[in-house]
Chains A and B, each alone.
Chain A
């Protein structure tokens, strides 16, 4: 089972700041002698609509933190973040903009 995730989304003037923490070993090729385990893609949805689709590599550290700014937004908007790793494991979390 994937470890916990935690997300915070706060409204600024004309933008929304999102900060999301993920539990993941993010093990590289070298560390594992050829059996890397890392998050491959991260998807961000705002009110059900995909806003960001990103690809990540082994170069990201263990238990990564991502933070980014979305244009616009309103209090109560639903932000969903999900990740998928190279072993097919996945996890997601959602929060309302505060």
Chain B
């Protein structure tokens, strides 16, 4: 077996080869295709799997018995079926909130300790980011199917919907200030109208995601928190009802889309 070509045997794939069909796509779609080709998302999934199986906390336990809604330890398709109502805690939880719950119950960790660093940076990604990558990756190919039947699930959806439209904070922004009008963008990111299933579907099917512009893996809670930060409202608490409700509203709007994340974003 010989190496083909003579000049450049190894080529860093910074996605130089655009697919022929890209010519018809918008610049945004082209850019997204290019970044996704070189995405290191799988590395985060691998590191997340190790963390999932690592014995931690006062109880020296792993998260392998964590019940994400499909039964203890069942990960296949679990992420795609969240957020949903959990009877044991009598509330709606999304993936990250549930993982935090598992850290506190299974591993016996203190909430403060487990949340010391929910969002990491490029040099040191957080535990939650690695775990989200792994857990979400186990739902690839499953249809988004959040809970919609229980009264608390309906309540969460209604709250999320309300929060999406309500104006708040120093600048009197609502989610719709940015995500309410077709065709808006910030630099190379389109701002989808997230109350429209057509826009919510591809988005919710690709979060959590790796962001190429700052080489970090970002979770859905981070996305929502950061939107609130940009709106100049106080950041919601991790795993709070507000974050879960917004997540619920968006996921229900995107219901039925095949999950294909963790994705790659600008």
When chains A and B are docked, how far (Å) is the Cα of A67 from the Cα of B186? 31
Nearest-neighbour CB distance to chain A for B203, whole angstroms, equals 23
Q: List 10 A-B contacts (CB under 8 A).
A: A3-B47, A4-B47, A5-B43, A16-B1, A21-B42, A51-B2, A61-B12, A63-B215, A65-B13, A66-B10
Residues of B within 8 A of A61 (CB): 12, 14, 38, 212, 215
When chains A and B are docked, how far (Å) is the Cα of A3 from the Cα of B123? 12
Interface residue ranges of B1-42 to A (CB < 8 Å): 1-5, 9-14, 37-40, 42
Cβ contact within 8 Å between A70 and B10:
no
Cβ contact within 8 Å between B123 and A25:
yes
Range of interface residues on B (Cβ < 8 Å): 20 to 34
Interface residue ranges of A17-66 to B (CB < 8 Å): 19, 21-23, 25, 42, 44, 46-47, 51-52, 54, 56, 60-66
Known: A3-B43, A21-B42, A63-B215. A71 touches B1 (CB 8 A): yes
What secondary structure prevails in chain B residues at the interface with A? loop
When chains A and B are docked, how far (Å) is the Cα of A78 from the Cα of B10? 18
> Count the A-B residue pairs with Cβ separation under 8 angstroms: how many?
81
Cβ contact within 8 Å between B43 and A21:
yes
Residues of B within 8 A of A22 (CB): 40, 43
Chain B contacts to A: CB under 8 angstroms: 1-5, 9-14, 37-40, 42-43, 46-47, 50, 122-123, 212, 215
What secondary structure prevails in chain A residues at the interface with B? strand
When chains A and B are docked, how far (Å) is the Cα of A56 from the Cα of B8? 12
Cβ contact within 8 Å between A67 and B13:
yes
Residues of B within 8 A of A68 (CB): 3, 9-11
Give the nearest-CB partner of B12 in chain A.
A60
Question: Among B3, B13, B39, B42, which residue has its beta carbon within 8 angstroms of that of A66?
Answer: B13
Question: Among B3, B38, B50, which residue has its beta carbon within 8 angstroms of that of A70?
Answer: B3
Give the nearest-CB partner of A52 in chain B.
B9
Cβ contact within 8 Å between B43 and A4:
yes
Cβ contact within 8 Å between B13 and A42:
no
When chains A and B are docked, how far (Å) is the Cα of A47 from the Cα of B1? 9
Question: Among A3, A4, A54, A72, which residue has its beta carbon within 8 angstroms of that of B2?
Answer: A72
When chains A and B are docked, how far (Å) is the Cα of A44 from the Cα of B9? 10
Cβ contact within 8 Å between A63 and B1:
no
Nearest-neighbour CB distance to chain A for B100, whole angstroms, equals 24
Give the nearest-CB partner of A97 in chain B.
B1
Cβ contact within 8 Å between A63 and B3:
no
Cβ contact within 8 Å between B12 and A70:
no
Residues of A within 8 A of B10 (CB): 42, 44, 52, 54, 56, 66, 68
Residues of A within 8 A of B37 (CB): 65
When chains A and B are docked, how far (Å) is the Cα of A56 from the Cα of B11? 10
Cβ contact within 8 Å between B1 and A66:
no
Give the nearest-CB partner of A8 in chain B.
B42
Give the nearest-CB partner of B14 in chain A.
A61
Which of A6, A65, A69, A70 has the most B CB atoms < 10 Å from its CB? A65
When chains A and B are docked, how far (Å) is the Cα of A67 from the Cα of B3? 13
Residues of B within 8 A of A5 (CB): 43
Nearest-neighbour CB distance to chain A for B36, whole angstroms, equals 11
